[in-house]
Chains A and B, each alone.
Chain A
């Protein structure tokens, strides 16, 4: 089996929690922190840590606003994040193809 696709997998995305966050954000223009927390049943701390890692990699953008007098923090994928996620999916598809062939 060609090991190249494995080696090229993005290490930032290739973690269960961060992959889940990227998947949610890839399907929505933006999501609130609480929406992600409830959908993924993650703790605040865990989700914050993963979001910080993704933000530092330049994959997510944060918007802070006030709605009805309460703070509202929303997250979205940056163009770099979308590109990295699409690349990750392509590599997974390649690995699936290789697995089928072997």
Chain B
């Protein structure tokens, strides 16, 4: 008998236990739907009066709620289809991981809606991009795919815009802020969703 079999068994056990805790729902539909919502939402202000900082905060909070609800419905649908529990251990872990960062974003948004002197819309957009990146990065520890890298894209992108506003103050304006939101929460999600759609199709059980 191979003397290493016990060590190999222990390694197998470790791998399986880690795999058991990973979130396995297909992310491509969630990314594509939230990306589509974000992209459409970025163009709506061209035709509606969402030009004040308060309206910006309220509008994008509402868009966020719609995107989150749509994502949860898609995840629930997948769980039902696969005869698996919706509120599974991995789902719970992912929600717990993203919750603190999303709470910061929510509170910042609510503060700006309620405050008579809200922040410039661009500043709120930068904060949202960065905290959302932090949420994705935290969730990435319970997901098998490149969510952590996607999170880094948001964190670094948000920081880059923050630095860019020093030389280009117009990025703080409401109109630019809508496009920042559309770029990150719309187009970036669409691109990542398309990538996942192709790769998940090739390897459906990952």
Q: Is the CB of A23 within 8 A of B83?
A: no
Q: Could you say which of B17, B83, B85, B205 contacts A26, with CB atoms under 8 Å apart?
A: B17
Q: Judge whether B201 is part of the interface by a CB distance below 8 angstroms.
A: no
Could you say which residues of chain B place their CB within 8 Å of the CB of A32? 82-85, 88
CA distance A23 to B21 in the complex (A): 11
Q: Judge whether B12 is part of the interface by a CB distance below 8 angstroms.
A: yes
Could you say which residues of chain B place their CB within 8 Å of the CB of A35? 24, 82, 84, 88
The 8 A CB mask of A27-51 against B (1 = contact, 0 = none) is: 1111111110011110000000000
Minimum distance in angstroms from A54 CB to a CB of chain B: 15
The interface residues of chain B, by DSSP majority, are classed as: helix
Interface residues of A in 80-102 (CB under 8 A from B): 89, 92-93, 95-96, 99, 102
Stretch at the interface among B2-10, B155-163, B167-175: B2-10
Could you say which residues of chain A place their CB within 8 Å of the CB of B86? 67
Could you say which residues of chain A place their CB within 8 Å of the CB of B21? 27-28
Minimum distance in angstroms from A8 CB to a CB of chain B: 13
* A70 and B83 in contact, given A92-B10, A99-B4 (Cβ under 8 angstroms): yes
Minimum distance in angstroms from B202 CB to a CB of chain A: 16
CA distance A52 to B32 in the complex (A): 41
Q: Judge whether A20 is part of the interface by a CB distance below 8 angstroms.
A: yes
The interface residues of chain A, by DSSP majority, are classed as: helix
Q: Judge whether B80 is part of the interface by a CB distance below 8 angstroms.
A: yes
Could you say which residues of chain A place their CB within 8 Å of the CB of B103? none
Q: Could you name 12 residue pairs across A and B whose Cβ atoms are closer than 8 Å?
A: A19-B9, A23-B20, A25-B20, A27-B21, A28-B89, A30-B85, A32-B82, A35-B24, A92-B9, A92-B10, A93-B6, A95-B6
Q: A23-B17, A39-B205 are in contact. List 11 more A-B contacts (CB 8 A).
A: A19-B13, A20-B12, A34-B82, A35-B24, A35-B88, A39-B16, A72-B83, A74-B85, A92-B13, A93-B6, A99-B4
Binding site for A on B (CB under 8 A): 3-4, 6-7, 9-10, 12-13, 16-21, 24, 79-80, 82-86, 88-89, 205
Binding site for B on A (CB under 8 A): 19-20, 23-35, 38-41, 67-68, 70-74, 89, 92-93, 95-96, 99, 102
